[in-house]
Amino acid sequence: MTTTIEPAQAAPDVPTVSFDADPALYKHWKLDVDGEIAYLRLDIDEAGGIVPGYELKMNSYDLGVDIELYDATQRLRFEHPGVRAVVLTSAKDRNFCAGANIRMLAQSSHPWKVNFCKFTNETRNGIEDATANSGQVYIAAVNGTAAGGGYEMALACDQILLIDDNSSAVSLPEVPLLGVLPGTGGLTRVIDKRRVRKDRADVFATKSEGARGRQAVEWKLVDEVIPKRSWDETVAERAATAAARSNRPAGAEGVPLTPLQREETADGITYRHVKAEFDREQGLVEITVLGPEGDVPDTVERVHELGAEFWPLAMTRELDDLILRLRANELELGTWVIRTQGDVEDALAFERVIEQYSGSDWLVNEIRHYFKRTLKRLDVTSRSLIALIEPGSCFAGALLELALACDRQYMLDGLMEDDEGEGQEGGPAQIVLSASNFGSFPMSNGLGRLGSRFWGDDAHVAELRQETGRRIEAAEAMEMGLVTDAPDDIDWSDEIRIMLEERASLSPDALTGMEANHRFVGPETMESRIFSRLTAWQNWIFVRPNASGPEGALRKYGTGRKADFDRKRV
């Protein structure tokens, strides 16, 4: 994060953020696929910021850059199954990446900064997930200086190669230069992933010039330093070696990720399988995930023929897009009410296809991990999540994870007397546990959502495992601890209304902290630390005067004047 900036000005109006991207229209990345090796080259368009008011100098980035990177990583997983190694590098000589653009950070609102860092973290985690679960090994070929978020991007890769040109270095200069923290996992990955000694990590994180050459290797900040004269050949050799170890299929045909079709109005967003209706007066959005319709593919070949139209993939893409759009654009819709609609047996039938083939077929495996990542995105979303389980719902197996991700679950006991028989042909609301509820879609803390719900009560989780495959109605679900409450039809409407009104009356800031604390119980992992401990401190630091006040480091950087720090420790 070393971009030179002018004094910060007032933030411009922020446009509606779209997460659509297409490699043919990338402004900042170049994606080249050569057999088993893909090259992702960062080539920033300085004038291509997602909002006006700053230039993306020195290969620095903003949200728009990361939207393209996320799109590229998704396309590599689904459209290029033959790719076994991905080289992440820069198209500019002597400048790998200067990290997040400082003027962008200085002029941005607090919510914009938080959402930017959160999405960037999720994209970095996705890179690690591709290496761990998709056989696409990412290698950072740092062919110039990598500062701040630029080095954090490299840290997400499996290997870090640094050019030895007597000037290129890796650094995390946020603390000494900006008065903030490395915002996308740098501190955590240095010690947890790279296993850098904590005293050396302390020196490194307070030394703005960073480390290069032999010291960077000795301190485990990079894996290898390569002379400039043999750079291209050695990088190619390391990529080929990584590709040879991959289990990615040879000769497989990819699945095009066709553009999503959606209808957007002031009152909501509608996709084919997901819809969201806004209630701005109440500050909530009602999200409905529609279950599958039509025949279930009976062969894996048929799954490939359907491609992006295969319901689990199509639904997950839409849900992922909706979560991102709501997080970025609808800050005052603080409560998300989540429903499903469809046939329980149809939902379970599609799940059985995933379960049958995910261990043997690359595409089915990718779909399973994509749904896992989308659920994780829901887990770390700073909104109150409420599941309503009603007649006609299909919260079964994988879709039940949507309810288990919520802060509360309400299940109607019986039928609604007023409209009995209308939309309730399947009888009372039911849920179904399946094997996928016991660890197939782990949270960031490494636990399944049932494991998190019943943390410390392994015996109860084991008992629930014996209940898989059968339909469970409201009273029994309540007894088993799977729902928060099970009102009958007489009380349902009033109970839900009062609960939502009470939620809307509480402090959004307090709710965000409370929910994040409750959702992530038990052990910490590197990923959960990045999203909890590190992010929490960074969010606090961002709003402190020492960082973003009139005399703060973010405001003064690049002006030639030092920040005026309040020296009190709080």
Where along the chain do its domains lie? 23-249+526-542, 267-488
* pLDDT for res 559: 87
**Which of the residue ranges 341-345, 388-392, 553-557 would you say has the lowest mean pLDDT?**
553-557
CATH of range 267-488; options 3.90.226.10, 3.20.20.100, 3.40.720.10, 3.40.50.300: 3.90.226.10
pLDDT at 418 over 80: no
Closest CA to 303 of 82, 78, 20: 78
pLDDT at 311 over 80: yes
CB 77 within 8 A of CB 249: no
**Which of the residue ranges 158-162, 274-278, 372-376, 562-566 would you say has the lowest mean pLDDT?**
562-566
The token pair at 146 is 């990598």
User: pLDDT band for position 4 (50/70/90)?
Assistant: very low
What mean pLDDT do residues 11-33 have?
A: 88
The token pair at 569 is 């420790």
* pLDDT for res 419: 54
**Which of the residue ranges 101-105, 259-263, 457-461 would you say has the lowest mean pLDDT?**
101-105
pLDDT at 124 over 70: yes
* pLDDT for res 1: 39
- Determine the Cα angle at 442 with ends 156 and 464, to 5°: 170
Helix (H, G, I), strand (E, B) or coil at 337: strand
Q: What CA–CA distance (Å, rounded) separates 366 from 436?
A: 15
* pLDDT for res 250: 87
pLDDT at 422 over 60: no
User: pLDDT band for position 8 (50/70/90)?
Assistant: very low
User: pLDDT band for position 14 (50/70/90)?
Assistant: low
User: First-to-last CA distance in the chain?
Assistant: 26
* pLDDT for res 70: 98
* pLDDT for res 375: 98
For 424-450, the pLDDT digits (tens) are 567 999 999 999 999 999 999 999 999
| Higher-scoring residue by pLDDT: 359, 394 | 394
**Which of the residue ranges 88-92, 168-172, 506-510, 555-559 would you say has the lowest mean pLDDT?**
555-559
pLDDT at 5 over 70: no
* pLDDT for res 366: 96
CA atoms within 13 A on the CB side of 491: 10
Mean pLDDT of the chain: 93
What mean pLDDT do residues 380-395 have?
A: 96
pLDDT at 67 over 60: yes
Share of the chain above pLDDT 90, in %: 82
Q: Is 267 exposed, middle or buried (0-12, 13-18, 19+ CB in 10 A)?
A: exposed
pLDDT at 539 over 90: no
Q: What CA–CA distance (Å, rounded) separates 486 from 280?
A: 27
- Establish whether domains 23-249+526-542 and 267-488 are of one fold: yes
Tell me the angle at which helices 311-329 and 110-133 cross, rounded to the nearest 10 degrees. 150
Closest CA to 432 of 385, 464, 387: 464
pLDDT at 221 over 90: yes
* pLDDT for res 2: 38
* pLDDT for res 537: 83
Share of the chain above pLDDT 70, in %: 96
| Higher-scoring residue by pLDDT: 533, 269 | 269
For 106-116, the pLDDT digits (tens) are 899 999 999 99
| Higher-scoring residue by pLDDT: 427, 294 | 427
Question: Residues with Cβ < 8 Å from 517, sequence gap 6 or more?
Answer: none
- Fold of the 23-249+526-542 domain: 2-enoyl-CoA Hydratase; Chain A, domain 1 (3.90.226)
